[in-house]
Amino acid sequence: MTCRFVPPYLLARVAPASLAIDAALRAGRTVPVPARSPVLAAPAPAWTVHSADRTTDLPGRAVRSAGSAASGDVAVDEAADGITGALALFAEVYGRASYDDAGAPVSLTVHYGQDYDNAFWDGVQLVFGDGDGRVFGRFTRPVDVLGHEFTHAVTEHTAGLVYRDQPGALNESVSDVFASCLKQRLLGQTADGADWLIGEGLFLPGVRARALRDMAAPGTAYDDPALGRDPQVGSMDDYVSTTDDNGGVHLNSGIPNRAFQLAAVALGGATWEGAGRIWYDALTGGAVGRDTDFAGFAAATIAAAGASADAVGAAWDAVGVAPSGSGAIAGAPASGTVPSRRVSVRRTGGFAGLRTVGELDLDGDDPRGPEVAALVDRVDLAAVAGGPPRPDRFVYDFDLCGDCATVPEQHLTADLRRLADLLLDDSRTDPRGARWRD
């Protein structure tokens, strides 16, 4: 499961000339995660931070490990402080030894790619970009970004929630839950004194944004001419049925996020010891599995809440989730096919959740046409490796003159990366996501 922090409906909402992420970099490594081995193995230090030195080579060169002094590289040292706090949260509060509960050493890489606007867990390590320097700053700055990605690793080794539709939105929400617990614990905040923002400080000055998400008030974190308005929802009344963003995982995660925030405030005190303990027990107690939906997760948290069951139940009721039934809401049907001489690519996913679309008519006079036509003739979509999407990584939907396929970022071939690069270089992004589809 590769998990990226920035949702697809937010990435690249700037003007085409300001698109900061190279499609080739978005491809990351093309080696499937199941075929890869962990970077670190016991008895390695508890964590090691590497630098990719603005390349996409993973893990990069080792710079700092547990027990060593600060390096002087701000991103390296932020990652070191963050992983130290995250490991302490899970060990000291929940009795969990690293993400796998077996003490696995954690590998982290900073300075990934050039102007890379994302962070992700790829099933082996945590990876952080430096941002584009225009909209996003470095992804190591807000500690909750690291907490979010580390929790994707925990979820992968516990409930294993599939990254699509309601289970995927729960996967995203659980990462925000423990990211918030980490942030509040490090700051010494109580539930009623916390700001409940995820990714505060990620946007650069001049961007009209408080954070990337607001767990207390989904849909209010930003409203900026370059980004659009935060499209996240906080109630089942507004549930988004879509094929984008793996079924709207970053949009609909606002619903369980708000339920957690309401439960935490109702219980009071330290979030990580109150509602956080209940959510952790639900995640790891055996009642939550790969396909658990909102109703099933609500039931699991109520069962784990003991004397606090009424407060937790009221929180889920407030967002329109009844703790019964099963089955995630299916995504919306795909839109109509593209005309036979039209080529398009749509990128969704990523930590920010932006949707970016590019298309080209091969019968037109676009100067990119000859190269795109040659690539279309050469590509065999049926031969491209498939596999499930991974949290917070991008997903590409290709329509090559009627030949269609969905390709997770980690499986892009060189030709598909080039196609994405060509078409998305002159793209349009809908910041409002599938709720406002054409």
What residues act catalytically? Answer: 149, 250
Token pair of 337 as six digits = 């096919």
Cis peptide before 43 (omega within 30 of 0): yes
Strand (E) or helix (H) holding 295? helix 294-304
d(C-alpha 96, C-alpha 93), whole Å: 8
Q: Is there a contact between 121 and 149 (Cβ–Cβ < 8 Å)?
A: yes
| Residue 124, φ and ψ in degrees, nearest 5 | -130, -40
Q: Is there a contact between 396 and 347 (Cβ–Cβ < 8 Å)?
A: yes
Token pair of 114 as six digits = 């050039």
Task: Give me the residues paired with residue 345 across strands.
Answer: 358, 398
Amino acid at 64: R
Cis peptide before 7 (omega within 30 of 0): no
Strand (E) or helix (H) holding 176? helix 165-187
Please compute Rg for the chain using Cα positions.
21
- The CA-atom distances, in angstroms, between 1 and each of 45, 110, 112, 320, 381 are 24, 19, 19, 29, 22
Residue 114 CB contacts under 8 Å (≥ 6 apart), including other chains: 22, 25, 54
Closest by Cα among 205, 96, 194, 107 to 144: 194
DSSP 105: P
Closest by Cα among 131, 20, 57, 128 to 424: 20
d(C-alpha 81, C-alpha 186), whole Å: 10
3-state secondary structure 58-103: CCCEEEEECCCCCCCCHHHHHHHHHHHHHHHHHHHHHCCCCCCCCC
Q: Which residue is it, tokens 């659980």?
A: 174
